[in-house]
Chains A and B, each alone.
Chain A
C-alpha cells in the first residue's frame, strides 16, 4: 500500500511538472492571440480613421471657403463698425429715419435732385407735394406718412427719378447691393483670389456717391489682383444685383448731389403712381421715428 501511495504521489508530482511545462506553451499562445487582437484592432482603427479622413478631406475645401468668406464679411463689418458705424448711424438717425416728419427734408432733396437732372438735360418738374397725417407708431416706434408728389416728365425719366428716390436711403455700396450678391462676390473672390477679400471688404464699405461718381475706379481697386475673366463675371453680378441701378440712376449726377448735401434721402416706399397726360402723380410712404 505504501508503495502504491508513493507511486501515486510521484505520478502527481510528475503530472504537475508536466502541467507546469505546458503552461508556458499556453501562456505563449495566449500572448500571441492577444498580440493578434491588438494588431487587428490597430488595422481596423487605421482603416476607420482613413475613411473618416477622406470625408474630412472632402469637407475641408468647403469649410476653408466658408471660413474665408465669413472672415471677409466679419472684417468688412469690423472695419465699418470701427471706422464709420457711429457716423453712419448718426446720419441715418438724422436724415434717413429722422424723428418727427421727414417731409420737408424729402421735398428739399427731391428738388435738388430734379435740379441736378436738369443740369444734365433731363427734365423733371415738380408741380406739387402734399403730405398727409402721420400714422400711429408701430411696435418699433416707426411712423409713416403719405406724401403725394405730382411731377411732369416722360416715363423713362420718371422711372429714373423713382429709382433715385428709392436708392436715397442707401449710404454705402453694401446698402445698394442685394445680400445674396454680397455673399456670391465674397465666395467667388475666396475661390479665385483670396488676397482680394480685404479689398472687397473696403469696396462694400465705400460711400455710395463715391462709387456712383467713379464706379470703374472703385471696382478696379477691388479687382486689381483678380483674373480678368473672374473680374468680368463679378462685375456683371454686381450690375445685375443692385449696382447697375446705382450707375444708371446716379452716375452723372452724383457729384452734384453731393455738393447740395441732399444725400441721404429719407426712407420712402413707392405706394402708387398714375399718369394723366404728361403729369405723373406719385404716392409715397415716408418713414420716420416717433418722438419718445
Chain B
C-alpha cells in the first residue's frame, strides 16, 4: 500500500490503474495474437527453409546441410568399402610387392635422366666426357671431366652440378672439388667426381 499513496489516500483506483483497466482487454488480445503468430512462425519458418545465395545460386540452408550429410555418409561408405577390400587380404602377395617396390630407388630411370642431363649440358664449346661410373646403395658416382674451349670449365662444371640437382629422382648432389688445368686441345678442363644421392636411398 505504501507503493500506491494515491490509493491509500483516496481509497479508490487511480487514473493510471483505470487506464490499465481500459487497456487490459485490447492488450490481452494483442499479446495473445502476437504470441500465437510468433509460435506459428517458429513452426513454419524453420531456419532450414531460409535461402542463402552462394556463388550466384540461391539455395536453401536445409538443402545444403542435407547434401553435406549425404556426401559425408557416402564418403564414409566408400572408405569402409576400400578398407574392406584391403582387409579381405585377397592379394597378400600383390600388397607385399607394392610395398617392397615403393621402398627402393628407381635406379634405371634416374640414371637415364642423369645421362640425358649430362648430354644436354654438353653444348656449344662445353663438353662432358665420362671416365667411369659406379652405383652403390643409392649413390651414383660418375668420374669425368668438363672441357671448355673458352677456358671456363669450372663455371661449366658448376652449371652441370646445378642441372643434376633438379634431375627427377636425384635427392642431392655433393659438391665436387673444383680444379682447372689447361686442356691440350685448347681451353681448360676440370676433372671431377660427381656423387649423386637418389631418392629412397638408405644412405
Question: Using a CB–CB distance below 8 Å, which chain A residues touch chain B?
Answer: 11, 14-15, 18, 21-25, 27-32, 34-36, 38-39, 41-42, 45-46, 48-50, 52-54, 56-60, 63-64, 66-67, 70-71, 73-74, 77-78, 81, 85-86, 88-89, 92-93, 96-97, 140, 142, 155-156, 158-166, 169-170, 175, 179, 240, 245, 248-249, 267, 269-275, 287, 289
Please, which residues of chain A bring their CB within 8 A of the CB of B34? Answer: 31-32, 35
Q: How far is the CB of A270 from chain B (nearest CB, A)?
A: 4
CA of A11 to CA of B134, assembled, Å: 119
Please, which residues of chain A bring their CB within 8 A of the CB of B41? Answer: 38-39, 42
CA of A34 to CA of B36, assembled, Å: 10
Q: Mark B91-112, 1 if CB is under 8 A from A, else 0.
A: 1111011101110111111011
A163, B108: Cβ atoms closer than 8 Å: yes
A270, B31: Cβ atoms closer than 8 Å: no
Please, which residues of chain B bring their CB within 8 A of the CB of A166? Answer: 104, 106-109
Q: Which residue of chain A lies nearest to B57 when distances are taken between CB atoms in the complex?
A: A57
CA of A70 to CA of B101, assembled, Å: 24
Residue in B54, B97, B132 whose beta carbon sits within 8 Å of that of A96 in the complex: B97
B32, A28: Cβ atoms closer than 8 Å: yes
A155, B25: Cβ atoms closer than 8 Å: no
Q: Which residue of chain A lies nearest to B119 when distances are taken between CB atoms in the complex?
A: A156
Q: How far is the CB of B197 from chain A (nearest CB, A)?
A: 14
CA of A21 to CA of B64, assembled, Å: 51
CA of A121 to CA of B20, assembled, Å: 112
Q: Which residue of chain B lies nearest to A284 when distances are taken between CB atoms in the complex?
A: B107
The answer to whether B11 has its CB under 8 Å from any CB of chain A is yes
CA of A164 to CA of B96, assembled, Å: 20
Classify the secondary structure of A's interface with B. helix
Q: How far is the CB of A239 from chain B (nearest CB, A)?
A: 11
Please, which residues of chain A bring their CB within 8 A of the CB of B94? Answer: 85, 88-89, 92
Given A25-B27, A67-B74, A85-B90, A92-B54 contact (CB < 8 Å): no
Q: Mark B189-202, 1 if CB is under 8 A from A, else 0.
A: 00000000000000
A38-B41, A81-B85, A245-B109 are known contacts; what are 12 more A-B pairs with Cβ within 8 Å? A27-B31, A28-B26, A35-B35, A48-B47, A58-B54, A60-B71, A67-B74, A74-B85, A77-B82, A155-B111, A160-B112, A270-B107
A56, B42: Cβ atoms closer than 8 Å: no
Given A56-B65, A159-B112, A97-B96 contact (CB < 8 Å): yes
Q: How far is the CB of B106 from chain A (nearest CB, A)?
A: 6
Please, which residues of chain A bring their CB within 8 A of the CB of B61? Answer: 49-50, 52-53
Please, which residues of chain A bring their CB within 8 A of the CB of B47? Answer: 42, 45-46, 48-50
Classify the secondary structure of B's interface with A. helix
- Chain B interface size, as a band, is 35 or more
Question: Using a CB–CB distance below 8 Å, which chain B residues touch chain A?
Answer: 7, 11-13, 17-18, 20-21, 23-32, 34-35, 37-39, 41-42, 45, 47-48, 50, 52, 54-55, 59, 61, 64-65, 67-68, 71-72, 74-75, 78-79, 81-82, 85, 90-94, 96-98, 100-102, 104-109, 111-112, 115, 130, 132-137, 168
A29, B65: Cβ atoms closer than 8 Å: no
Q: How far is the CB of B17 from chain A (nearest CB, A)?
A: 6
CA of A161 to CA of B32, assembled, Å: 91
Please, which residues of chain A bring their CB within 8 A of the CB of B42? Answer: 38, 41-42
Question: What total count of A-B pairs have CB within 8 Å?
Answer: 231
Please, which residues of chain A bring their CB within 8 A of the CB of B12? Answer: 11, 14
Please, which residues of chain B bring their CB within 8 A of the CB of A269? Answer: 100, 104
Please, which residues of chain A bring their CB within 8 A of the CB of B64? Answer: 53, 56-57, 60
Please, which residues of chain A bring their CB within 8 A of the CB of B79? Answer: 70
B100, A267: Cβ atoms closer than 8 Å: yes
B30, A63: Cβ atoms closer than 8 Å: no
Please, which residues of chain A bring their CB within 8 A of the CB of B24? Answer: 21-25, 28
Q: Which residue of chain A lies nearest to B21 when distances are taken between CB atoms in the complex?
A: A21
Please, which residues of chain A bring their CB within 8 A of the CB of B133? Answer: 155, 273-275
Q: Which residue of chain B lies nearest to A23 when distances are taken between CB atoms in the complex?
A: B24
Please, which residues of chain A bring their CB within 8 A of the CB of B98? Answer: 175
Q: Which residue of chain B lies nearest to A271 when distances are taken between CB atoms in the complex?
A: B137
CA of A269 to CA of B45, assembled, Å: 68
Residue in A28, A34, A92, A270 whose beta carbon sits within 8 Å of that of B30 in the complex: A28
Please, which residues of chain A bring their CB within 8 A of the CB of B25? Answer: 24
Please, which residues of chain B bring their CB within 8 A of the CB of A169? Answer: 97, 101
User: Most chain-A CB neighbours within 10 Å: which of B41, B50, B75, B107?
Assistant: B107
